Amino acid sequence: MLGEYSMEIIWVGHASFEIKVGGKVIYIDPYFGEYKDMADIILISHGHYDHSSMEKIGSVSGDNTVVLTVSEVALKIHGAIVMSPGQIKDVAGVKVQAVDAYNVGKSFHPKGSGLGFVVMAEGKSVYFSGDTDRIPEMKKVKADVVLVPVGGTYTMNANEAAMAVLDIKPKVAIPMHFGSGIVGTMDDAELFKEKVEAESDVKVVILGHGKSLNI
């Protein structure tokens, strides 16, 4: 049982997370792994299949589930709310800010096609970067915990992700977008941890699939 001011961050796998805070269940980019809890809020960063499984989304959605996403995905989900960078939505005491997420020098995720999210509740904040490179907008993000891709190819690699974390200066960083058979391995996560902790006081936590961190 979580304490009144605790937040539990569960890495379901790949870029899929579940956050439990203030009695609410939040899923981010449902795709990988098992989904048992019904969602109060679902955040979907963009429309690529490995971030927006309609089957998984449907399985955890109820009449009162709030879905926040980009326009491409909202067309597929009745009642979904479209967000753009800089917007903040308050859903039953959970504040969600949309932020930029895009590639630089490659075309997998053009600017404007995807989002990152900052989830704020019970005095805690978590930044989910989405599928992105290290971009200037990251320096404006304030969060206790950051969730960043390390797999490379479609997103930042381990070195780039480490530099992004140094830009943001959170308390904790959790690597994602590896270990699912799509791109990225445990070696990438471990290199990321080595780089970040060698150059900062940020703690890096590498989660296993279905494992969690309480903050």
Stretch 153-176: mean pLDDT, rounded? 95
What φ, ψ does residue 183 adopt, rounded to 5°?
-160, 145
Reported as type and span, the H/E element at residue 27 is strand 24-28
Give the position of tokens 């404007």.
112
How many other CB atoms are found less than 10 A from the CB of residue 2? 13
Q: Residue 107: what pLDDT?
A: 81
Stretch 59-74: mean pLDDT, rounded? 96
Domain boundary assignment for the chain: 7-206
Helix axes 158-168, 186-199, angle to 10 degrees: 40
Of the options 3.40.109.10, 3.20.20.70, 3.60.15.10, 3.40.50.1460, the CATH number for the domain spanning 7-206: 3.60.15.10
Structure pTM?
0.94
Q: Residue 100: what pLDDT?
A: 97
Tokens of 25: 């269940």
Q: For residue 211, what are the CA distances in angstroms to 12, 18, 33, 214?
A: 7, 10, 11, 10
Check: CB of residue 29 under 8 Å from CB of residue 41: no
**Structure-derived torsion over alpha carbons of residues 43, 151, 105, 160, reported in degrees to the nearest 10:** 100
How does residue 1 score in pLDDT terms, banded at 50, 70 and 90?
A: very low
For the stretch 11-47, pLDDT in tens is 999 999 999 999 999 999 999 888 999 999 999 999 9
